[in-house]
């Protein structure tokens, strides 16, 4: 029996524009629209959009969140300045790697918090690992299914994205994040891309994702 694949908020958009959809980490994801060479050149010479909503997005709140993340990750998270992002690993009790993750220290209207991005295929495993260990005084929410994450990468990515926001994207350094608006929608904006090209990632609630 074939398992039903999860879908990102942009799934119907991908299908409407002719994407070839494949199973990636349990999600129905677009792997190709035209040719690999053409899409590679687009990212290297102009800009491309990536739906990365399949990646896990986890939120931690409360004054005890730092200490908990210090116990969970292989590098120190406490002391991370607001707006900075740190790369780390989450390991099991034998030292085996469960996943590599990004930890954001951000602040919104509810105050300071931490945001963890994990790989899609490891989200359930990481969530279970956290839930077995997290103290009651730390707020924890899996925000994967009520948000969408879109990456814009390539030499022209900043100029294109800048037309949609008042945030000075060029002034943001690598591995930073903040809250602002994109296309008049509240958004988290970060610069942590892995294509080797310049760009930004935009996280919004799932409802306006297609509009962004």
pLDDT for position 2:
52
Q: Phi/psi class of residue 26: alpha, beta or left (left: φ > 0; alpha: ψ in -120 to 50)?
A: left
Q: What is the mean pLDDT of each run of 10 residues along the chain (212 residues)?
A: 83 94 95 93 94 97 97 96 98 95 96 97 97 97 96 96 96 97 95 89 79 51
- Cα distances from 189 to residues 35, 45, 68, 144, 174, in angstroms, run 29, 23, 25, 16, 12
Ranges of beta strands (E only) in 1-130 are 6-7, 20-24, 27-32, 48-51, 56-61, 85-91, 97-108, 111-118
Inter-residue contact 55 to 149 (CB < 8 Å):
yes
pLDDT for position 208:
56
C-alpha neighbours within 13 Å on the C-beta side of residue 56? 23
Q: What is the pTM of this model?
A: 0.93
pLDDT for position 45:
95
Paired sense of beta strands 185-190 and 27-32, if any: unpaired
Cα 146 to the center of its chain, rounded Å: 13
Q: Which domains does the chain have, with CATH numbers?
A: 57-143 (3.30.70.1400)
pLDDT for position 210:
56
**What is the distance between the alpha carbons of residues 54 and 145, in angstroms, rounded to a whole number?**
9
């Amino acid at each position: 029996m074939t398992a039903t694949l999860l879908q990102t908020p942009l799934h119907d958009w991908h299908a409407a524009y002719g994407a070839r959809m494949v199973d990636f980490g349990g999600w129905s994801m677009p792997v190709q629209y035209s040719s690999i060479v053409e899409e590679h050149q687009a990212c290297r010479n102009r800009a491309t959009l990536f739906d990365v909503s399949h990646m896990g997005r986890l939120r931690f709140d409360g004054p005890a969140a730092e200490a908990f993340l210090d116990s969970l990750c292989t590098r120190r998270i406490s002391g991370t300045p607001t707006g900075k992002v740190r790369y780390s690993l989450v390991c099991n009790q034998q030292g085996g790697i469960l996943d590599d993750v990004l930890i954001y220290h951000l602040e919104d209207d509810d105050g300071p918090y931490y945001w963890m991005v994990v790989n899609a295929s490891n989200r359930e495993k990481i969530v279970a690992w956290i839930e077995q260990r997290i103290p009651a005084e730390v707020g924890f929410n899996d925000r994967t299914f009520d948000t969408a994450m879109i990456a814009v990468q390539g030499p022209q990515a900043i100029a294109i994205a800048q037309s949609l926001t008042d945030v000075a994207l060029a002034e943001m350094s690598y591995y930073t994040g903040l809250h602002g608006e994109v296309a008049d929608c509240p958004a988290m904006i970060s610069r942590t891309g892995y294509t080797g090209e310049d760009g930004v990632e935009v996280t919004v609630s799932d409802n306006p994702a297609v509009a962004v």
